[in-house]
Each structure stands twice: as C-alpha cells, then as structure tokens.
Amino acid sequence: MFAYYLQLGLRSLRKNPLLTLLMVLAIGCGVAASMTTYSVFRATSNNPIPQKSSQLYAPQIDNWGPDVSKDNKGEPPNAMTYTDVINLMRDKRAKRQTALYPTAMSIVPADASMLPFRETSYGWYADAFGMFDVPFLYGHGWSASEDDSHAAVAVIGKALNEKLFNGRNSVGQNVNLNGRDYRVVGVADKWNPEPVFYDVINTNGFDDPIQVFIPFTRAVELQTPTNGNNNCSHDPGKGWDSWIHSECVWVGFWAELPTKSEADAYHQYLNGYSAEQQRSGRFRWAPNTRLRNVTEWLEYQKVVPQEAKVSLLVSLGFLLICLVNTVGLLLAKFMRRSSEIGVRRALGATRQEIYIQFLIEAAAIGLAGGVLGLLLTGVGVMGVSLVFEPDIAKLATLDVSLVLLTMLVAILATVLAAFYPTWRAAQVQPAWQLKSN
C-alpha cells in the first residue's frame, strides 16, 4: 500500500502545483536556514575527544591573587606559569600529565630545491600522545626518558611527512627545525580535533592540523619562545630565565584522571599545592584552584561563538514559522478532499489507512522540501563567511551526515506538521460527506 499511497500523494501534489510549490518553498527555506546555522554550531560545539572528554582535565591555579582575579569573577588565570607546571610534572599525581605550549618552527627541508617554511609546533611531554589518543601512521611518540634528557626528537604530522619525505616512513630520518636536526620518532596520522581542546587559549578553538611536536623540555632548554599568549600581572624583567621564573602565565597543562575519585583527589592536591605556595610566601592568598574536564573547559572558554547559538535559535524559530504555515496549507489541501475521504471511507478505508495515506503525501512534500533545502543549505554554507569569522566559517561543510540530516529534518518536520491536518482528514464522517453531495 505504501507505493499506492505515494502514487496518490504525488498525483495530488501535481494537481495543485502552486500550493505544492508554496509548501515545498516553506519547508525548503526553513530547513536550509536551520541546517546552515546548525553546520556552524555542530562544528563549534563538537566534542573533540568523546571517549576521554570526562577523563582529561585542565587545572588552574590562581598565582595572581584576588586583586587580579576579581576582574575575572574570581577565576584563576587560563594558563599556568612555568614554575607551576614544572612542579606539577615533578609530582606526577595524575595517571598521565603534560605541559604544553605552541612555538613557531622554521623548517629547512633536506631537498635543496625546497624553500624553508614555518610551521606552528607544540612542545609537550611524552604522555600527551597517549592522553590525547594521537593516531600514528609510523612509529610512536618519544619516551619519558627522552623528555628527561631533552632529546632532539620529533613527531611530525602526515602532511609534513608528505611534504618532506613524499609520504614514506620517515622514522629515524632527521628533520631540521630552527636550524637543528631532530630525529623523527613517529609520524602522526591526520589528527585535528575540533575544537582544538588542548589549546583553546591560543587557537580560539580552531586551527589547521599541527605538524610538529617536540619535547617540552627541549623547547625550553633551547629557549624557544611561545607563539601563543603570554600574560603577566607584573613586569617579568629581562631575559629568558627571569621570564620563565616569573608569574607570567603561558603554559597549558592537562592531567588524565580516569575516575571521579581521582579527579577529586587531584583537585585536593592542587589546593594543597597552592597552600604550600602560600606557606612559602609566593602566594599571599588562600588557594583558588579549578579543575575542569574537556567539556567543562570548552564551555568555560566559550568556544561556541555566541552568534552561532543565536543564529541557530533564530533559524529554528524561522523553521517553526515555516512549519506553522505548512500546517495551514496542508489543512486547506486535505480538507478540500473531504468528499474523496468520505468515498474512500465508504469503500472500506479505515481511519488509520486515511491517516497513513495523507502522512505519506506529507512526507513526499517533505522530501521535495528536503531536496530544495539541501540546495539552499549548500548555498548557505558557502555564505557562512559573510556572518562568521573565516576560521569558524571554514568549519561549516555540507558533508554526508548534514545531507542526511537535512533530508531527515525536512521529512520529519513535514510529517510532524501534517499530524493535525491528517488527523482532521481521518475524522471526516463519510455519511455526512456523502449526504451533502
């Protein structure tokens, strides 16, 4: 019967092309608006590491005191001092932990025909690869002992490996970074969590895939400056040593704490550490620490742009208005066919069969609206850059999942809008319809 109902539905739609066009336009525009804004919202609100987002934590320690933190609702700074991360790394209270900071590396290719180029790189600890589930194409991350020995080792990304080594296994090869050779120990497969949860401070959450990772200890030893934010409450003085031992915050820190009890214990440890700093005279205030997992951290850092939320809400409202209009149009369309419904009921159609027939007709309208919506969503996605920042706009893509979602939303929304009109159609009393003829 499905094919029969679909055939009837299409025939009915062809009979009133103007009415059909109005409904398809209403649904297509409503769905396109909501899907375009959803594509931005989806990209920005994505959980970048769902399997571990409740186990990875970003600690914060208030090293500036209430005079400064009161301007930020009492929140500690977003990053840490070198002093604190080195102490936290030394204590190793988490299952795994890493300090990290971005740097800019000049890469000198071995191929003399290629010009040197710059790449954003990260200095972090060996634990980071396992903590962040970095996938490897070849080799692996470096070891903790290589952290300790400040080894000249590097993990490079797939794209850089393509560029420098034509995609071959480059493990054991050297790569020249800032004029020094580093031995490649691993080639990471394509890895670009969105948002870039491990460093939202310096990336605003979105960046190109990172292609170079070296040991944090090595980067510091070579006095490689940060390519990210550096916030100081006081003048750090001149020179590298005075800067890294100052109260300037520029280092990110992550701890892997698989259970809630471990997270609670770690938070206690942070408070204990702060109290110790207070006792030693470094902090002149009570401990003020935070410990947020990935989801909480992204929420706290407001990674989802406010305009993405607002535009999604506005477009959903628009879709709702379109659907209300569709309800009215469907009601008019279906009730004009009361006599047909009466005849069908007289000839043996149950209410349920009438209901299904008209819902399928509505679904056919939804399908047509979905196709139009898909085309308009494609146009909308191309125009996202008119409203959003370029690094956000480029995330909005019309991929397979969005295509399927657009069709699904269009059909489901239309069927939902058709519930009342079809219910009214199914309630038509055949006796009255036939008597009135």
Partner 1 sequence: MLKMTHLSKVYRTEVVETYALRDFNINVNEGEFVAVTGPSGSGKTTFLTIAGLLETFTGGQYHLDGVEVSNLNDNERSRIRNEKIGFIFQAFNLIPDLNVFDNVEVPLRYRGMKAPERKQRIMDALERVGLASRAKHYPAELSGGQQQRVAIARALAGSPRLLLADEPTGNLDTQMARGVMELLEEIHREGATIVMVTHDPELAARAQRNVHIIDGQVVDLAEDPRFHHAVHSARANSPA
Residues of this chain that interact with partner 1 (CB under 8 A) are 1, 4, 11-12, 15, 339-340, 342-353, 429-431, 434-435, 437
Phi-psi region of 281 (alpha: psi -120 to 50; beta: other; left: phi over 0): left
Closer residue to partner 1, CB minimum distance, 158 or 345 = 345
The answer to whether the CB of 52 falls within 8 A of the CB of 220 is no
Q: How many CB atoms lie within 10 A of CB 145?
A: 9
To partner 1, the closest distance from the beta carbon of 15 in angstroms equals: 6
Minimum CB–partner distance for residue 17 and partner 1 (Å)? 14
Q: Are 194 and 49 in contact (CB under 8 A)?
A: no
∠ CA 299-301-302 to the nearest 5 degrees? 65
Under the phi-then-psi rule, with left for phi > 0, alpha for psi from -120 to 50, and beta for the rest, what region is 237? left
Q: In the Cβ-directed half-sphere of 135, how many Cα atoms lie within 13 Å?
A: 9
Minimum distance from residue 417 beta carbon to partner 1 (Å): 23
Smallest distance, Å, CB 425 to partner 1? 14
CA atoms within 13 A on the CB side of 305: 22
Smallest distance from partner 1 to CB 40, Å: 44
Q: Of 66, 87, 84, 86, which is closest to residue 75 (Cα–Cα)?
A: 66
CB of 384 to partner 1, least distance (A): 43
**Closest to partner 1 by CB, 140 or 424:** 424
Q: Which two tokens stand for residue 140?
A: 């692996």
Do residues 417 and 327 make contact, with C-beta atoms less than 8 angstroms apart? yes
Cα 278 to chain centroid distance, Å, stands at 38
Cβ atoms within 10 Å of 53's Cβ, excluding its own: 16
Nearer to partner 1, 21 or 431 (CB): 431
Contacts (Cβ under 8 Å, ≥6 apart) of 392: 40, 43, 44, 206, 305, 308, 384
Cis peptide before 135 (omega within 30 of 0): no
* Cβ atoms 362, 415 nearer than 8 A: yes
Q: How far is the CB of 365 from partner 1 (least distance, A)?
A: 16
How far is Cα 315 from Cα 28, in angstroms, rounded to an integer?
12
Answer for the pair 389, 43: CB distance below 8 angstroms, yes or no. no
CB atoms within 10 A of CB 181: 13
- The least distance separating partner 1 from the CB of residue 342, rounded to whole angstroms, comes to 8
Cα dihedral 372→375→380→382 (10° resolution) = 180
Nearer CB in complex with partner 1: 242/350: 350
Least Å from the CB of residue 345 to partner 1 = 7
Q: Which is nearer to partner 1, 65 or 430 (CB)?
A: 430
Sign of the torsion angle spanned by Cα atoms 64, 67, 72, 76 = positive
Q: How far is the CB of 416 from partner 1 (least distance, A)?
A: 24
